[in-house]
Amino acid sequence: MPTILVADDDANIRELVCLFLRNDGFATAEAADGKEALAIYASTPVDLVILDIMMPVMDGWALCKELRRANPDLPLLMLTARSETWEKVQGFQLGTDDYLTKPFDPLELMARVKTLLKRYRMGSTQTIRLGNVILDRQIYKVMRGTESLALPLKEFELLYKLAGIPGQVYTREQLIDQVWGINYAGDDRTIDVHIKRLRERFAATSDFRIETVRGLGYRLEVQE
């Protein structure tokens, strides 16, 4: 049973969110601020965190940063009463996976929680299937049907990163840090060059596409 940590200073919001989560079979933990959420995370196995931005003691920005530092693979869903684009950008830059504006539909929240958990289960494997395309990270091999494709290492790692969590938006800075390393001294526009090459290599496939998210970065979408 996955455990969801809900961090929000509004007790009514916590009660509503936890009620829907428990009714859908999830275990829940609650925190009224970021500091309390970190303490719970340190002592309780947590599979996903739903966090508000505006909280006392430690706000959602700081909490997101600390959780991402502790666990780069922990799914984070950010809630906010405001919908300004800059807040979404900052949230994604700090490492949040999804973003929902208050007031929200609890059914939509549940759908997003399930989608995030599904994406991260996919990201935990060494083999990723995108329709007819298979990425095997153990041997750095790409198969398209019966055809074996030879990709340069960085192109493979970039594609694997994007494919690990379909639909997740990554900024150029995040991709540089996670694929090239934090000590990379080159231009982050190298991401654009590698994305262009990947698009050209897989132009004929209908299994997935790499989308540009204006003002944010890139995401990979699997075609149904």
Nearest to 168 by CA among 67, 73, 60: 73
Tokens (6 digits) for 190: 């190298």
Using CA atoms of 7, 9, 10, 11 in order, give the dihedral in degrees to the nearest 10: 70
Rounded CA separation 167/77 (Å): 14
Rounded CA separation 186/168 (Å): 24
Beta strands in the chain (DSSP E): 3-7, 27-31, 48-52, 76-80, 98-101, 127-130, 133-136, 141-144, 147-149, 170-171, 208-213, 217-222
Contact criterion met (CB below 8 Å) for 1 and 42: no
Q: What is the pTM of this model?
A: 0.58
- Tens digit of each residue's pLDDT (9 = 90 or more) over 54-80: 899 999 889 998 998 888 778 999 988
Low-confidence ranges of the chain (pLDDT < 70): 82-84, 121-125, 224
Q: Centre a 10 Å sphere on the Cβ of residue 107 and count the other Cβ atoms it contains.
A: 10
- Tens digit of each residue's pLDDT (9 = 90 or more) over 167-204: 888 888 888 888 887 777 777 789 999 999 999 999 98
